[in-house]
Amino acid sequence: MDTHPIDMTRSATNASAAAAVSVRGVSKNYGQVEALRDLSLDFPRGQLTSLLGPSGCGKTTLLKIIAGLLQPTEGEVEVNGKPVTGPGPDRAFVFQDFALLPWATVLRNVAFGLELRGVRISEREAIAEQYIRNVGLAGFEKSYPHELSGGMRQRVGLARALAVDSEVLLMDEPFSAVDEQTRRKFQEDLLGLVAGENKTFLFVTHSIEEAVYVSDQIAILLPRPSRVSEVIRPSGLRTRNVSDIRRDPEYLDIVDRIWASLRSYVE
């Protein structure tokens, strides 16, 4: 184990010192169903943390508790040291099923978060136009969601969350609706985003490869009732060129290791 490329000691100290979000002893019951049990996890500021785990283990539940959309049965969540009591402007959510307004144009959809926060129309549309360009949808400002492909809609949802300029971005399987090529393109863009914007990203995914590719930290959740079974910090990958990551021995190693610990639950 000495030669193992994963730096576990650094993670523990670093993470708690600079945590943008910390989850402490959170449990969540839906009636008889125990979704989360005593889950604790820190999300370091300015980094991307993936939540990886089998379907139905409570990843969405955890993300919604952090967003303030659900109340935990027990435990608490802190964002920048302040306990979460409900949704707030410091967090923005990217929904698994996009949650776009079908009767509104791309421009209004992207500006909608700002609209709800009372930003003037000229101002919010200028901001929205910029983010529409950033996610590669320039020229589609006047289109309606039903005129876009699944991947394009997903980018509208992403642009809307980016436009409100929150410190913490909560992304629930944001790349689930796109084909493999687009998905890889998005993953590269996401790495650029993490490097460029000084934001904390919480990223839910089913894909081991995706998690290892984009993450500074990977939290592996066990099946219900869910706790964090392991936190993995790929230490060397972030300094690599994006196109070389998938060939890196560390990348392959971590993918194997995660698969080894998850496969017992799949079988």
Partner 1 sequence: MTAFGIRLPGMSSLILWGLFWEIIGRSGYTFFLPPLSEVIATFFSIVDTPAFQKALSETAQAFLAGVFSAVVIGIPTGILMGKNRLVDELLLPWVNIFLSAPLTALVPVLMVLFGFGMKSIIITTALFAVWIIILNARAGVMQINRSLTDMANSFGATPWAAFSKIYFWAALPEILGGVRIGVIRAVKGVIIGQLLISIVGFGALFELYSANFLMGHFWAVLIVLFALAFVLSEGLAALERRVSYYAAQR
Give 6 or 67: the residue with its C-beta nearer to ligand ATP. Answer: 67
> Which listed residue (49, 60, 200, 205) binds Mg ion by CB under 5 A?
60
Partner from partner 1, Mg ion, ligand ATP, none binding residue 89, C-beta < 5-8 Å depending on class: partner 1
- Angle among Cα 66, 101, 67 to the nearest 5 degrees reads 5
| Nearest-approach distance from CB 163 to Mg ion, in angstroms | 24
Kindly provide the b/e burial profile for residues 108-128, where b requires at least 16 CB atoms within 10 angstroms of the residue's own CB: bbbbbbbbeeebeeeebbebb
- What mask, x for binding partner 1 by CB under 8 A, covers residues 157 to 196? -------x--------------------------------
Distance from C-alpha of 15 to C-alpha of 246, rounded to nearest angstrom: 25
What is the C-alpha R_g of the chain? Answer: 18
Give 80 or 229: the residue with its C-beta nearer to ligand ATP. Answer: 229
| Nearest-approach distance from CB 225 to ligand ATP, in angstroms | 9
> Which listed residue (4, 10, 82, 117) binds partner 1 by CB under 8 A?
117
Q: What is the DSSP letter of 215?
A: -
- Stretch (H or E) spanning 178: none
Which residue bears the tokens 């913490």?
168
CA atoms within 13 A of residue 100's CA, in its CB half-sphere: 29
| Nearest-approach distance from CB 89 to partner 1, in angstroms | 7
Distance from C-alpha of 55 to C-alpha of 59, rounded to nearest angstrom: 8
| Nearest-approach distance from CB 212 to ligand ATP, in angstroms | 18
Give 20 or 92: the residue with its C-beta nearer to partner 1. Answer: 92
Distance from C-alpha of 173 to C-alpha of 150, rounded to nearest angstrom: 13
Give 60 or 134: the residue with its C-beta nearer to partner 1. Answer: 60
Partner from Mg ion, ligand ATP, partner 1, none binding residue 88, C-beta < 5-8 Å depending on class: partner 1
Tell me which residues touch ligand ATP (CB under 6 A).
30, 33, 35, 55-61, 224
244 touches partner 1 (CB under 8 A):
no
| Nearest-approach distance from CB 45 to ligand ATP, in angstroms | 24
Partner from partner 1, Mg ion, ligand ATP, none binding residue 33, C-beta < 5-8 Å depending on class: ligand ATP
Torsion of CA 162, 164, 168, 171, to 10 degrees: -50
Q: What is the DSSP string of 93-116?
A: EE-TT----TTS-HHHHHHHHHHH
Binding site for partner 1 (CB under 8 A): 64, 67-69, 86-89, 91-93, 95-99, 101-103, 112-113, 115-117, 144-146, 164
